[in-house]
A and B are shown apart, each in its own frame.
Chain A
Amino acid sequence: AQTVTQSQPEMSVQEAETVTLSCTYDTSESDYYLFWYKQPPSRQMILVIRQEAYKQQNATENRFSVNFQKAAKSFSLKISDSQLGDAAMYFCAYRGPDSNYQLIWGAGTKLIIKP
């Protein structure tokens, strides 16, 4: 069965600095999708970034980028120039190729931004 592991329950970073959140996963599939979602205090889940496993190029969205290491089954999220609005829970999620969109979730990492 697929699993997703986020080993950092909490991370803190100084405003304007860079922080990296870790995520590892386990799967026997070769084609799949990986996601990072953000859940601020409002509890609205917001898609941050998405990566297709068949793409070698790491996905980027403005200040957010991923380091996708397929062989190592690692999918870390880098946030550059951290802003106070980035404070939230961050969840890593996996979707298999034929899983009817079902997501396997990590436990989440709470990101604290220090002003």
Chain B
Amino acid sequence: GAVVSQHPSRVICKSGTSVKIECRSLDFQATTMFWYRQFPKQSLMLMATSNEGSKATYEQGVEKDKFLINHASLTLSTLTVTSAHPEDSSFYICSAGDRGFETQYFGPGTRLLVL
């Protein structure tokens, strides 16, 4: 149980294009989902918290217009990197939590490369 999928696993795009990353909880209802960014050899940096049916809460320094988050259902959250630039290249990870679990379960991550 507690499986989280993330798609795509890897994406390469041109500068100026937008990229959408999907995060799905496969066997539980995720009332809360998190989006992280991880730089090489570093810990996870929380970007935003999304609650189903409400607006995401962004961490300080994260541009909400740059990183659009939608949590439209209890099993799906999406992160859209708008007008991507090379500095947005990174590893993005989502996680999901269920009130019954008190634990975050992670997707396999998406490696984004912006050329």
Residues on B with C-beta less than 8 A from A102 are 34, 46, 49
A-B contact count (CB 8 A): 47
Contact mask for chain A residues 90-115; partner B; CB cutoff 8 A; 1 contact, 0 none: 01000100001111011110000000
Closest Cβ of chain A to B10, distance in Å, is 11
Decide if the interface of chain B is mainly helix, strand, loop or mixed.
Answer: strand
Across the interface, name the chain A residue whose C-beta is closest to B51. Answer: A100
Q: Bound complex: CA of A22 vs CA of B103, how far in Å?
A: 21
> Chain B interface (Cβ within 8 Å of chain A)?
32, 34, 38, 42-44, 46, 49, 51, 91, 93, 95, 97, 102-106, 108-109
27 contacts between A and B (CB under 8 A): A33-B102, A37-B106, A43-B91, A43-B108, A43-B109, A44-B108, A44-B109, A45-B93, A45-B106, A45-B109, A47-B105, A91-B44, A100-B32, A100-B49, A100-B51, A101-B32, A101-B34, A101-B97, A102-B34, A102-B49, A103-B46, A103-B104, A106-B43, A107-B42, A107-B43, A108-B42, A108-B43
